[in-house]
Structure 1
């Protein structure tokens, strides 16, 4: 380890040792302990990490700890479990309120000792965050009576085990599950009267979500179309995030009647069918709408103009964000068929003020949608049209090269066609009361052309 890094690590360690008695929040990671894996190597960094944390916690009484956060970035094996078990045994005592354990490495294997949360030690925990470990709660775990937020990411747990835990977590307000592939059926019991936020992302084997919690107001889901989602009473639903194919059509056809009080809707879809739904009910309270239609490529037959149905369905809409970036643009270009731009019936929207379209391309139906927006939405104040950009831009403060990252030639060419389409067909129609922002590809890419 270079002298400067060694001195810094020692300084941080001494400062930490002096302060932990006064501050009941313990945060152990490579960063907080001043360890630089690139400078001292992975093995040495892991050895120093374990040594420092072990030294600190062995001198700690465990009394007064409110928050414990452990993030292990090095390789973690079964032989390292004895360290972690000892640390948790010391810090997880009656009175602890937040516990976060994150194992970074993909091959990490650790079985969280649920017995630590029994006998009153878990009664005070309000926030439990576990990542990349095994967690097998049973009926003997007891009641996590203070738990308000549970976050499990890449945790090996079954649906029955989770259900057992939920049935004893009466105060739970937020449940977040990410990539927990052991869960096939997620059942949320009705006793969770305070549960307002449910998030389920990337649980590959999930087949059923059955929610009975009566006061759910926010639901976020990313998964396969085959997952059966039953949310029970949805009159309280205010915020909905959906990432699954066909969700645009589903939103227009089903949500106005099932979630009439929805205020914010975010949709991600990689596959859609063109639609002209018969709207019997409207999103009376919907104020914020974000739609991302990203595919490789997205269906070239999809008609972007049909998204204008949302403006008619949501009279209270204030912001509309649309992302249409795709690696290969196969829609009919406005330059291939410039004649006879379609027009929908005129609609005077009195609340929509801000529209942003990212990944803008020269697709004719997208140009038609944008023209419809500028011509018929009289309340519009700001329109932002962004052509495809570099992933890393030259203006980013962390970009030391001072240049944008390269763009594939076909994407760059389409970006310039998009800008030309904006200048030719859209900009002349923008009212003087609307601020038009056009984001073009950076001049860094001149050489690539």
Structure 2
């Protein structure tokens, strides 16, 4: 190399190094550090420790805005290294801290809360912790800038979480997933707080929110006692309880008292052993209703009219049915005049209806016919005889999951039922979409 080329390379290298060490966003993982996953675990761990040490030491005193440790695959890293790295990088001015420590084998990483007590906590806006222990105390300090808090499989009690939240006056959203030590979740009166997302916190018995502006509540798991403080601001409510039955029944009885002004409601239930009751209460602001059911062999789908009748401004209705055992009362074989009729209703706002997993169940056909006969505003009706992901959207290029032969035979029966009982009731201005099993991934002889 000539002296001139060497001088240019040195200048470029110096400029690049200066630019790099001033970079405010750091993500540490085997991928970002260029480590080969095919090498032994000990080699990966040794190289990862060496590289992170070098990087952080060279940046000592340089401000970090975003710090992300993604180390779950490196289970042989001693936690003392992680403590040291956090104390170097978490300084006043940091805005985002994302931590996924090595997955616990014998012990679990104990997050050093002292990091947030020396002024560093004042600037953090997003805190994302995974697979660790968090034991905040009253002397934690103020997290006055924290707007988003996410915890995945974090060991923290309800009282400790209350202590933490009480220091987060700017908090906007809280996500809790698999936090199994929380028995009672209580949200303080945080003025800016509007999103609460709770997923499979198995020990949870109480959810109580005193936040006056809560607008979105997502809950997944075993149903517990829920109080949203009678908030009039809750517009989006999602309850997925796929380990528990009769959630649709619960929703019809209780959602109005939880969120009287809900606009988007999503309900998922393991099964329904009782029919949805007709009640006087109205969902005066509900526009989008989505219901997912799994095993509903004895359920009367026509009873879902209770929701339609109670929602005068409903615009979109989606029903998803996932039956693994075809035990419903099929409409095929019975005369068409056996279809039940309900006192005439009028749905003047309903525009879009989609039913996935549509089957030949007599009560489901009756529900569909009722909607067609009583909806003056309907634009589109979609009847999908499957409930799987189609090959056009999966990475494998195959439908998932594949339907067994009983399901394929049922799909053919369903198509016959649609032609016999539904098609003739569809007004000319309504677009009818009938989705059959994918011919590329499934084949079945048509019924004669």
Displacement after TM superposition at 1:161 (Å) = 1.1
Contact 1:189 1:213 in 2 (8 A): yes
Equivalent position of 2:238 in the other structure: 241
2:275 matched to 1:271? no
Question: How far apart are the structure 2 equivalents of 1:345 and 1:62?
Answer: 75
Contact 1:237 1:261 in 2 (8 A): yes
Equivalent position of 1:6 in the other structure: none
Displacement after TM superposition at 1:384 (Å) = 1.5
Displacement after TM superposition at 1:47 (Å) = 4.3
Equivalent position of 1:433 in the other structure: 429
1:184-223 equivalences under 5 Å are 184-190=183-189, 192-223=190-221
Contact 1:239 1:264 in 2 (8 A): yes
Displacement after TM superposition at 1:257 (Å) = 4.7
Equivalent position of 1:155 in the other structure: 154
3-state SS of 2:309 partner: helix
Equivalent position of 1:355 in the other structure: 353
Contact 1:325 1:360 in 2 (8 A): no
3-state SS of 1:221 partner: strand
Displacement after TM superposition at 1:127 (Å) = 1.0
Contact 1:321 1:357 in 2 (8 A): yes
Contact 1:274 1:306 in 2 (8 A): no
| Structure 1 stretch displaced more, 48-57 or 192-201 | 48-57
Equivalent position of 1:394 in the other structure: 391
Contact 2:314 2:350 in 1 (8 A): yes
For the structure 1 residues 18 and 356, does the alpha-carbon distance in structure 2 shift closer, same or farther, using more than 3 Å as the test?
farther
| Structure 1 stretch displaced more, 262-271 or 229-238 | 229-238
For the structure 1 residues 20 and 302, does the alpha-carbon distance in structure 2 shift closer, same or farther, using more than 3 Å as the test?
farther
Equivalent position of 2:84 in the other structure: 86
For the structure 1 residues 109 and 102, does the alpha-carbon distance in structure 2 shift closer, same or farther, using more than 3 Å as the test?
same
For normalisation by structure 1, the TM-score amounts to 0.87
For normalisation by structure 2, the TM-score amounts to 0.87
Displacement after TM superposition at 1:293 (Å) = 1.0
Equivalent position of 2:164 in the other structure: 165
Contact 1:95 1:121 in 2 (8 A): yes
Contact 1:99 1:128 in 2 (8 A): yes
- Unaligned stretches of 5+ in structure 1? 1-13
Question: How far apart are the structure 2 equivalents of 1:177 and 1:118?
Answer: 23
Contact 1:264 1:288 in 2 (8 A): yes
2:304 matched to 1:302? no
Equivalent position of 2:11 in the other structure: none
Contact 1:367 1:425 in 2 (8 A): yes
Equivalent position of 1:141 in the other structure: 140
2:25 matched to 1:29? no
3-state SS of 2:233 partner: coil
Question: How far apart are the structure 1 equivalents of 2:416 and 2:205?
Answer: 46
Equivalent position of 2:283 in the other structure: 283
Equivalent position of 1:256 in the other structure: 256
Contact 2:320 2:387 in 1 (8 A): no
Question: How far apart are the structure 1 equivalents of 2:432 and 2:15?
Answer: 52
Equivalent position of 1:10 in the other structure: none
Equivalent position of 2:419 in the other structure: 423
For the structure 1 residues 206 and 405, does the alpha-carbon distance in structure 2 shift closer, same or farther, using more than 3 Å as the test?
closer
Equivalent position of 1:230 in the other structure: 227
Question: How far apart are the structure 2 equivalents of 1:372 and 1:16?
Answer: 69
Question: How far apart are the structure 2 equivalents of 1:177 and 1:434?
Answer: 42
Q: Deviations over 1:174-220 (max 9, x none)?
A: 11111100111112223x22221112211111112222222222111
| Structure 1 stretch displaced more, 256-265 or 90-99 | 256-265
3-state SS of 1:250 partner: helix
Question: How far apart are the structure 2 equivalents of 1:183 and 1:15?
Answer: 50
Equivalent position of 1:7 in the other structure: none
Contact 2:228 2:259 in 1 (8 A): no
Contact 2:21 2:62 in 1 (8 A): no
2:297 matched to 1:324? no
Q: Deviations over 1:1-21 (max 9, x none)?
A: xxxxxxxxxxxxx99977543
Indicate the RMSD between aligned Cα atoms, in angstroms: 2.6
**Structure exhibiting the larger radius of gyration computed from Cα positions:** 2
Question: How far apart are the structure 2 equivalents of 1:447 and 1:218?
Answer: 43
3-state SS of 1:372 partner: helix
Question: How far apart are the structure 2 equivalents of 1:202 and 1:139?
Answer: 27
Contact 2:322 2:387 in 1 (8 A): no
